A and B are shown apart, each in its own frame.
Chain A
Amino acid sequence: MAEGNSPLAAGPLETRTVSHLHPAGSFDLADHPEPTGREEIWRFTPLDQLQPIWADPAAAAVAVTRTSDQGCWAEPLSPGQGSRGSVLVPVDRAAALASARAERADHLRLAAGRRYDQPIRLDLRVDSETGLAAHHLVIEAEAGSSATVLLRHGGQGRYLGNVEIVVGPSAQLTVVSIQDWRPGSSHLGQHEAKVHPKASYRHIAVSLGGDLIRLQNNVSYAGASGAAELLGVYFCDAGQHIEHRLFVDHNHPKGKSLADYRGALQGRRAHAVWVGDVLIRSRAQGIETYESNKNLVLSDGCRADSVPNLEIETGDIVGAGHSASTGRFDDEQLFYLRSRGLDPDEARRLVVRGFFAQLVARIGVPDVEQVLMDKIDRELATGPAL
């Protein structure tokens, strides 16, 4: 493929999608009318909770804390400046609104060939009852760089956040995004990555606290032999709506993608949604993809929607598959563990930890794994007794 002077800037035409799986993106808010509930992409989302966001409230501040920067922060980017807008084109109204409202994007530039040993942390906090916070982050991992970026979202409020990611040739980038808001909060946004040849990209979504979390997580490729791994962990309590929507666009040959999302649900009206769209274009020969979603239901009154979609336009692939399952923490499992001396809370903790541990162990960043298991333990500690 042809590349311009900036090796990380992809041609804008490549981000256009003709598949029925996905609408074409647009920065223009008018192209994304307010959802009525009849749209496929909004069918699972509780739209009444979005009214305060569409009502165009005043801006709320996002307090950004960089706990370790290792000299990797570049000048903020305006819309259309540098890489901003070269990868992420909003595919829904929330992302378009985030893009329009976030005038200056935080800009993380990981220098070519450099290995960042410590995770780069970015805390994003909101504290506003009425306002609407918007944020845009651009992460450019230059050729051959290697880093882990940890985004921690928290506080109280309504938050729209886009994350635009360029994974340069042979770069290795892990982005962990933790959503852990106080009750009454909502978080919507689009994360979108472009993976260059021989690059390895991992995105890990961790959604725990907040009334409504809805993330659109997209990946496409800028050339052959890129690899993407999309992992997700969520813990959905009473009244929470947690929605992860993935779209992997295999638009180049020999790419790999793997998605594995796991969630636990407990409490009345806990609602988890997972939509995994994978498009394998006719030119994407020799690719390999697998996506999986598992839900563990811990109490009555929960609902998990799990929708994998594979659209395959070429027969010349290494493999493509998907699986989705929703299981219960059942009485027999509980009895087995109690008969070995565990009390019901211990039994539940063991089962849920086991369910997540297989996935968390794959993250490979001890710091992050510890943070996650601690958070899962905290969720378990606050759960209803069986």
Chain B
Amino acid sequence: MTDQPRGLEITDLHVSVQTEQGPKAILKGVDLVLEPGRIHAIMGPNGSGKSTLAYSLAGHPKYTITSGSVRLDGLELTGLSVEQRARAGLFLAMQYPVEVPGVSVSNFLRTARTALTGQAPPLRGWVKQVDQALGRMQLDSEFSGRSVNEGFSGGEKKRHEIVQLDLLNPKYAILDETDSGLDIDALRVVSDGVNRYAAQGDRGVLLITHYTRILRHIKPDFVHVFVDGRIAQEGGPDLAEALEESGYERYLQTVTS
């Protein structure tokens, strides 16, 4: 099977949401190929549709894919359920992870791992694996006894997302503003986690961010500037540096003029 296509291929993706005034187009033709072993950064101003891209790739029911295609290693995702996409190897680190009271982190992680692989991990080795993954995120082992995201600080929530990235080890990871709300130290810990994941060499990372500061820790291979539901410009890491200087202003002026 050497000719099996590899990568997350997004082709002419159009997505709308239902509003009181009827359907509203948010994504207006997105093209992007994320190859294994690559890190792509998607940057853009608020409201440009970055998070919509993340959610619609993962299959959030609020968003309707009206046309286009998303293929994961050749498998068409657009007709699949949320959990089928996850089982195919897609992971979304959420910007706002949800509380699940009474469900411990360890139970949650084990349940997710079991659901994704189709078999429960052997208990003994798993507990150790969880402890180590928590340690790498500078969370102590008691963290695994806490209820998922309940009473977590903003930083703890994001670290917990990266713990999942570590343990579930998907083929492709979308990180939706994982850097927002992190202080300097937490940003470094989280970035190290993403870098370790990417260093495996055959995983793809789609890093969605508003700010350039995380790109000092995580070096993208490509940068896409997202404006008004489509990619307005793309380039290498130097594009991020240019954005640091000029901001998004000039793209926005192009849209409104």
Residues in chain A within 8 A of chain B (CB atoms): 331-333, 335-344, 346, 350-351, 353-358
* B92 neighbours in A (Cβ, 8 Å): 339
In angstroms, Cα B98 to Cα A333, docked, is: 6
Contact residue among B87, B102, B108, B168 (Cβ-Cβ distance under 8 Å from A357): B102
In angstroms, Cα B60 to Cα A34, docked, is: 53
* B86 neighbours in A (Cβ, 8 Å): 338-341
Main secondary structure of the interface of A (DSSP, over half): helix
Q: Which residue of B lies closest to A332 (CB)?
A: B98
* B112 neighbours in A (Cβ, 8 Å): 340-342
* A338 neighbours in B (Cβ, 8 Å): 59, 81-83, 86
Apart from A331-B61, A335-B58, A350-B100, 11 more pairs, CB < 8 Å: A338-B86, A340-B111, A340-B112, A341-B87, A341-B112, A341-B168, A342-B83, A346-B111, A350-B107, A350-B111, A354-B107
Residues in chain B within 8 A of chain A (CB atoms): 58-62, 81-83, 85-87, 91-92, 94, 97-103, 107-108, 111-112, 115-116, 147, 164, 168
CB pair B111–A339 under 8 Å, yes or no, is: no
CB pair B116–A340 under 8 Å, yes or no, is: yes
- Counting from the closest, the 4 A-B pairs by CB-CB distance are A354-B102, A341-B115, A354-B103, A338-B82
Q: Which residue of A lies closest to B164 (CB)?
A: A340
In angstroms, Cα B107 to Cα A355, docked, is: 14
In angstroms, Cα B93 to Cα A336, docked, is: 10
* B115 neighbours in A (Cβ, 8 Å): 340-343, 346
> Quick one: which of A333, A341, A344, A353 has the most chain B CB within 10 A?
A341
* A335 neighbours in B (Cβ, 8 Å): 58, 60-61, 82, 98
In angstroms, Cα B148 to Cα A333, docked, is: 11
CB pair A341–B102 under 8 Å, yes or no, is: no
In angstroms, Cα B90 to Cα A338, docked, is: 12
* A356 neighbours in B (Cβ, 8 Å): 102
Contact residue among A336, A337, A340, A350 (Cβ-Cβ distance under 8 Å from B168): A340
Q: Which residue of A lies closest to B99 (CB)?
A: A333
* A339 neighbours in B (Cβ, 8 Å): 58-59, 82-83, 85-86, 91-92, 94
CB pair A354–B111 under 8 Å, yes or no, is: no
CB pair A336–B98 under 8 Å, yes or no, is: yes
Q: Which residue of A lies closest to B96 (CB)?
A: A332
In angstroms, Cα B103 to Cα A53, docked, is: 42
Measured CB to CB, the closest approach of chain B to A294, in angstroms, equals 9
* B87 neighbours in A (Cβ, 8 Å): 341
* A340 neighbours in B (Cβ, 8 Å): 86, 108, 111-112, 115-116, 164, 168
Contact residue among A342, A344, A353 (Cβ-Cβ distance under 8 Å from B102): A353
A354 and B101 contact, Cβ closer than 8 Å, known pairs A338-B86, A341-B112 = yes
CB pair A354–B116 under 8 Å, yes or no, is: no
In angstroms, Cα B101 to Cα A353, docked, is: 10
Cross-chain pairs A/B with CB under 8 angstroms, 28 sampled: A335-B58, A335-B82, A336-B94, A336-B97, A336-B98, A336-B100, A337-B100, A338-B81, A339-B58, A339-B82, A339-B83, A339-B85, A339-B91, A340-B111, A340-B115, A340-B164, A341-B112, A341-B115, A341-B116, A342-B111, A342-B112, A343-B81, A343-B115, A350-B108, A351-B103, A353-B102, A354-B103, A358-B102
Measured CB to CB, the closest approach of chain B to A304, in angstroms, equals 17
CB pair B83–A343 under 8 Å, yes or no, is: yes
Q: Which residue of A lies closest to B102 (CB)?
A: A354
* B85 neighbours in A (Cβ, 8 Å): 339
Q: Which residue of B lies closest to A355 (CB)?
A: B102
In angstroms, Cα B108 to Cα A353, docked, is: 12
* A354 neighbours in B (Cβ, 8 Å): 100-103, 107, 147
* B82 neighbours in A (Cβ, 8 Å): 335, 338-339
Measured CB to CB, the closest approach of chain A to B100, in angstroms, equals 6
CB pair B101–A358 under 8 Å, yes or no, is: yes
Q: Which residue of A lies closest to B148 (CB)?
A: A354
Measured CB to CB, the closest approach of chain B to A267, in angstroms, equals 22
Measured CB to CB, the closest approach of chain B to A358, in angstroms, equals 5
In angstroms, Cα B116 to Cα A337, docked, is: 11
In angstroms, Cα B204 to Cα A231, docked, is: 49
* B99 neighbours in A (Cβ, 8 Å): 333
> Quick one: which of B85, B99, B111, B164 has the most chain A CB within 10 A?
B111
> Quick one: which of A331, A340, A355 has the most chain B CB within 10 A?
A340
* B58 neighbours in A (Cβ, 8 Å): 335, 339
In angstroms, Cα B168 to Cα A338, docked, is: 14
In angstroms, Cα B85 to Cα A358, docked, is: 32
